[in-house]
């Protein structure tokens, strides 16, 4: 399968053709992690989408990339707020990645965060949600510490499939979500993990001070924005991606944010990326 | 390559699922989904087969016209025809009264004559309209062959009383549920009685919640409570054989919350009234007189797949076939000079996408 097919998205993210040479590209690779050992800096990727165009396919792409056979030391910690495991299993199977097996070999660590109970039911609804978040954080921390033990250094990617639903589970207390994010970010900084977050931009666009959105944007090294074309949706162009990659400053101080913009078409087993007008 | 590995994931295709095709009212779709009918054949066709089980459908109401009720009535009546358990919640004090307004299915004999009539009618249409009728004939013949997946409903005839007796219909008034916990519990006990997804689906449930955030309800100012209710209802429905339809007036929720709701919905529709005397629109569209209203499809459920479903058109006109059953049609632009075509397109009050015009052809 087209495992090592190099796409425009990989290029914009700073990935190389052969995913095995992580050390070399570690310097400016958004998701390469610090393969040389712990103590690197955290990499954070923020995916922003809207009602018309879903950005979930980028998550699928990144999961598949991390779990590909030529990156055996990668571990994905996945917090699913939006879809059940069967949804991801089916999609990734079609992409050529069996997350069921990876889940058993502990390379794909899946946390089901779907709301099992209406939080308003018990009196401790909100507290319960907070406790649940804390519990999950504790688990993530344990996983990361275990994976970063000296005998088996691994690249860990923490993925959250819908941060706006995390806000819903804690009944709108965005401070708790921010706390969670900062814990994760600190953990990621300490152990050189990557954090990938999917967020819905249009939810925050009408807010006065969308502190969550702004803080995420501030922390992110790479921002990927998925939006529909200005002319609406079409069958051969499903939308456009704008990738802001801040990972290119090489210590000289003059940070260069690379901005790429291209169109995409999502298919079952791969996604086509192309520059506007470049398709025949 | 995935095939060589042992199938140890939670998903494995169960051979016994084949038998579910015999269950009336359920139809297999792509990616292991099972559809149930919305009660409107045209809407099923637009959505690629109907509403997938385990999905949350949200309908944005029009403040001026109760078109959402047409969709809800057909949805519920279809459930009654297939003897599926139903739950209906509305802000009315006596939600059971709604059951008296459900339309009666058109008997199959009448149905055939209707198909025949409309087909004849179609062939008489002028040539530039022919494109949208492609492939319609074979669908009709399929429908005649098997037990009907989707019936036609006569909006003028209320459902027979005896059709309601002996059926599992739960009615809830939203006013009885000051903090949504009661409603949630009713929904969860309702869903618990439907057998879960275990490969062999025998029945499917339908939940309809009408005018969810209407000001009569005490919870209508608690945005986060409503959000977490929708979120938890969604996860409930996701793991059971049911479809939940929620209609709500979008003008009553703040724009941020509205967006969150739209993200939560698997399938997102909106209905809109057509103004009685809109000369400009009447000039622009053919068959304007027969239109009841407009239906917008904003989002089509995407379960077990990452590929978005892009429809040819997102705006459809709601019409009555033979003055009795609901139908949807693509908008047909009247053959006028193009210069007047741009003048309309500012009144997209409930259209999600601001970039595209209110109408697209």
Q: Band of the pLDDT at A132, cuts 50, 70, 90? A: confident
Residues 161-180 of A with CB under 8 A from B: 162, 164-165, 168-169, 171-172
Confidence of residue A48 (pLDDT cuts 50, 70, 90): very high
Question: Closest partner residue to A168 among B9, B231, B268, by Cβ?
Answer: B231
pLDDT band, residue A124 (cuts 50/70/90):
low
pLDDT at A23: 31
How far is residue B272's CA from residue B270's CA, in Å, rounded to a whole number?
Answer: 7
A39 touches chain B (CB under 8 A): no
Instruction: Give A 215-274 residues with CB within 8 A of chain B.
Output: 228, 230-235, 238, 266-268
Q: What is the pLDDT of residue B11?
A: 57
**What's the CATH class of domain A8-115+122-274?**
alpha beta
Q: What is the mean pLDDT of each run of 10 residues along chain B (361 residues)?
A: 46 47 78 90 91 94 90 92 91 88 76 48 51 48 57 85 80 85 89 73 87 88 89 90 94 92 94 81 78 90 90 87 85 61 41 44 50
Q: How confident is the model at residue A251 (pLDDT cuts 50, 70, 90)?
A: low
Token pair recorded at residue A270:
């791969």
On whether the CB atoms of residues A114 and A166 are closer than 8 A, the answer is no
B123 Cα distance to chain centroid = 28
Q: According to the model, what pLDDT value does residue B182 have?
A: 87
Q: What is the pLDDT of residue A2?
A: 42
Closest C-alpha to A193, from A42, A35, A30, A38: A42
Residues of B in contact with A164 (CB under 8 A): 260, 263
> Which of A54, A87, A119 shows the shortest C-beta gap to B308?
A54
Q: What is the pLDDT of residue A276?
A: 87
What's residue B73's pLDDT? Answer: 92
Domains of chain B with CATH codes: 33-105+144-342 (3.40.50.300)
Task: Say what the pLDDT of residue B195 is.
Answer: 73
- C-alpha torsion B219→B223→B224→B226, nearest 10: 50
B169 touches chain A (CB under 8 A): no
Contacts of A128 in chain B (CB under 8 A): none
pLDDT > 70? residue A89 = yes
- Cα first-last separation, chain A: 24
Give the C-alpha separation, B23 to B202, whole Å. Answer: 7
Tokens 């018309």 — which residue? Answer: A52
Domain ranges of chain A: 8-115+122-274
Q: Quick one: tokens of B29? A: 């779709």
Percentage of chain A modeled with pLDDT above 70: 79
A216-245 average pLDDT score: 89
In this predicted structure, what is the pLDDT of residue A32?
A: 41
Determine how many CB atoms are found less than 10 A away from the CB of residue B327.
19
Q: Do B227 and A172 touch (CB under 8 A)?
A: yes
Two tokens at B273? 């009234």
Q: Which residue of B has its CA nearest to A169?
A: B228
How far apart are alpha carbons A221 and A189 in whole angstroms?
A: 13
Give the minimum alpha-carbon distance from B140 to chain A in angstroms, rounded to a whole number: 26
* C-alpha of B21 from chain center: 21
Q: Does B4 touch chain A (CB under 8 A)?
A: no
What's the pLDDT score for residue B55?
93
Residue A49: which pLDDT band, with cuts at 50, 70 and 90? Answer: very high
B277 compared with A226, residue with greater pLDDT: A226
pLDDT higher than threshold 80 for residue A91: yes
| Alpha-carbon dihedral angle through residues A164, B357, B301, B98, given to the nearest 10 degrees | 100
- Residue-wise pLDDT for A166-203, tens only, equals 988 888 888 889 999 999 999 998 888 899 999 999 99
Say whether A85 and B255 touch across the interface (CB within 8 A). Answer: no
Query: Exposure of B8 by Cβ count < 10 A (0-12 exposed, 13-18 middle, 19+ buried)?
Result: exposed
pLDDT at B286: 77
């Amino acid at each position: 399968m087209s495992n090592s097919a190099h796409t425009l998205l990989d290029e914009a993210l700073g990935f190389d053709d052969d995913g095995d040479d992580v050390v070399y590209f570690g310097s400016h690779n958004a998701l390469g992690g610090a393969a040389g050992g712990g103590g690197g800096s955290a990499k954070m990727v923020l995916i922003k989408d809207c009602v018309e165009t879903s950005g979930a396919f980028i998550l699928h792409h990144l999961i598949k990339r991390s779990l590909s056979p030529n990156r055996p030391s990668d571990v994905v910690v996945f917090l699913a707020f939006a879809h059940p495991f069967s949804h991801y299993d089916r999609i990734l199977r079609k992409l050529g990645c069996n997350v069921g097996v990876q889940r058993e070999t502990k390379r794909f660590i899946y946390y089901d965060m779907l709301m099992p109970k209406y939080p308003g039911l018990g009196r401790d609804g909100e507290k319960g949600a907070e406790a649940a978040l804390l519990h999950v954080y504790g688990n993530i921390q344990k996983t990361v510490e275990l994976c970063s033990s000296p005998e088996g250094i691994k690249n860990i990617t923490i993925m959250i499939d819908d941060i706006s639903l995390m806000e819903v589970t804690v009944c709108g207390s965005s401070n708790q979500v921010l706390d969670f994010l900062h814990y994760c970010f600190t953990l990621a900084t300490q152990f050189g993990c990557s954090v990938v977050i999917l967020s819905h931009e249009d939810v925050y666009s009408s807010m006065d001070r969308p502190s969550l959105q702004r803080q995420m944007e501030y922390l992110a090294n790479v921002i990927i924005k998925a939006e529909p074309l200005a002319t609406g949706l079409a069958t051969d162009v499903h939308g456009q991606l704008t990738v802001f990659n801040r990972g290119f400053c090489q210590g000289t101080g003059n940070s260069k944010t690379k901005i790429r913009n291209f169109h995409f078409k999502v298919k079952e087993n791969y996604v086509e990326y192309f520059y506007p007008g470049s398709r025949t | 390559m995935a095939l060589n590995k042992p199938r140890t994931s939670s998903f494995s295709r169960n051979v016994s699922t084949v038998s579910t095709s015999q269950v009336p009212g359920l139809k297999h779709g792509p990616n292991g989904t099972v559809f149930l009918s919305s009660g409107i054949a045209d809407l099923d066709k637009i959505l690629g087969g109907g509403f997938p089980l385990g999905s949350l459908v949200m309908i944005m109401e029009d403040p001026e016209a109760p078109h959402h009720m047409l969709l809800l009535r057909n949805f519920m009546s279809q459930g009654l025809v297939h003897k599926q358990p139903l739950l209906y919640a509305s802000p009315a004090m006596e939600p059971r009264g709604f059951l008296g307004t459900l339309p009666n299915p058109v008997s199959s004999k009448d149905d055939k004559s209707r198909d025949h009539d409309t087909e004849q009618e179609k062939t008489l249409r002028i040539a530039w309209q022919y494109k949208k009728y492609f492939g319609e004939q074979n669908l009709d013949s399929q429908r005649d062959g098997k037990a009907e997946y989707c019936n036609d409903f006569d909006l003028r005839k209320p459902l027979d009383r005896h059709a309601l007796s002996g059926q599992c219909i739960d009615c809830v008034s939203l006013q009885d549920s000051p903090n949504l916990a009661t409603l949630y519990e009713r929904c969860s006990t309702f869903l618990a009685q439907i057998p879960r997804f275990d490969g062999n689906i025998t029945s499917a449930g339908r939940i309809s919640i009408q005018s969810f955030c209407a000001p009569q309800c005490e919870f209508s100012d608690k945005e986060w409570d409503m959000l977490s209710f929708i979120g938890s209802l969604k996860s409930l429905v996701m793991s059971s054989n049911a479809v939940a339809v929620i209609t709500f007036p979008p003008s009553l929720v703040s724009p941020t919350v509205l967006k969150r709701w739209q993200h939560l919905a698997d399938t997102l529709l909106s209905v809109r009234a057509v103004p009685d005397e809109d000369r400009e629109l009447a000039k622009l569209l053919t068959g304007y007189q027969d239109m009841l209203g407009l239906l917008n499809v904003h989002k089509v459920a995407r379960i077990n797949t990452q590929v978005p479903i892009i429809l040819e058109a997102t705006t459809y006109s709601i019409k009555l076939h033979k003055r009795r059953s609901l139908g949807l049609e693509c908008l047909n632009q009247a053959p006028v000079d193009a210069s007047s075509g741009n003048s309309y397109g500012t009144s997209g009050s409930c259209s999600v996408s601001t970039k595209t015009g209110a109408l697209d052809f």
